[in-house]
Amino acid sequence: MVLLSTMFFATVASAGIVVSIDKSAQRMTVTVDGVQKYVWPVSTGGKGYTTPSGSYQPFRMEEEHYSEEWDDAPMPHSIFFTQQGHAIHGSLATRNLGRPVSHGCVRLSPANATTLYNLVEKRGIYSTRIIIQDRVPSAKVATNSPINKKNGKKSKSKMSSSPLWKLYE
């Protein structure tokens, strides 16, 4: 288990671009070389449709893609991350960003999809990692002194709001 965790975090840390999607918050955070660059609202899978959680390597990009499954719906600036057709792409339904209403893809505003597409195209899909989680975990961070010298009681742990993968950069 430790080996798998180490391999996972080594892969994430070595990726030039990390796209982290928090489905509970409907938010995407884009980190480049360990520096947070963008935080955008997204729309993931709605009722009856799932955006799969996990860590992915994108494998295909299409500037202009139309969904054969969904009546040729436009999916501009698509970055595909599953063989089942899940992608990050632009959507004109910007009023729905921040709510889970997609058919399983990760929707962005057209401008943000263009920015992400151009960044991944420039840096390369093999330098990119996509991490999708139901809820980005917080990690407990121990305080320097576990015992309060005034009253002899244990100090309370502090919580970090950083995504788990950021702890290993």
CATH number for position 45: 2.40.440.10
Domain span including residue 51: 2-168
124-133 mean pLDDT: 97
Looking at per-residue confidence, does 119 or 142 come out higher? Answer: 119
SS (H, E, C) the chain: CHHHHHHHHHHHHHCCEEEEEECCCCEEEEEECCEEEEEEECECECCCCCCCCEEECCCEEECCCEECCCCCEECCCEEECCCCCCEEEECCCHHHCCCCCECCCEEECHHHHHHHHHHHHHHCHHHEEEEEECCCCCEEECCCCCECCCCCCECCCEEECCCHHHHHC
Q: Quick one: CA dihedral 140, 146, 149, 154, positive or negative?
A: positive
Is the per-residue pLDDT at 128 higher than 80? yes
Tens of pLDDT, residues 4-47: 443 444 445 556 999 999 999 999 999 999 999 999 999 999 99
For tokens 């989680």, the residue is: 133
Q: Is 154 exposed, middle or buried (0-12, 13-18, 19+ CB in 10 A)?
A: exposed
Q: What is the pLDDT of residue 103?
A: 94
Q: Check: pTM over 0.75? Answer yes or no.
A: no
Q: What's the mean pLDDT in 46-52?
A: 95
Contacts for 71 with CB less than 8 Å, ≥ 6 apart: none
The better pLDDT of the pair 168, 150 is held by 150
Distance CA 15, CA 9 (A): 10
Is the per-residue pLDDT at 152 higher than 80?
A: no
| More reliable by pLDDT, 78 or 160 | 78
> Can you give the pLDDT at residue 72?
65
* pLDDT at position 22: 98
- pLDDT of residue 155 exceeding 60, the answer is no
Q: Check: CB of residue 97 under 8 Å from CB of residue 107.
A: yes
Return the pLDDT at 66.
73
pLDDT digits (tens, 9 = 90+) for 71-95: 667 788 999 999 999 999 999 999 9
Number of domains in the chain: 1
Residue 64 has pLDDT above 90, yes or no: no
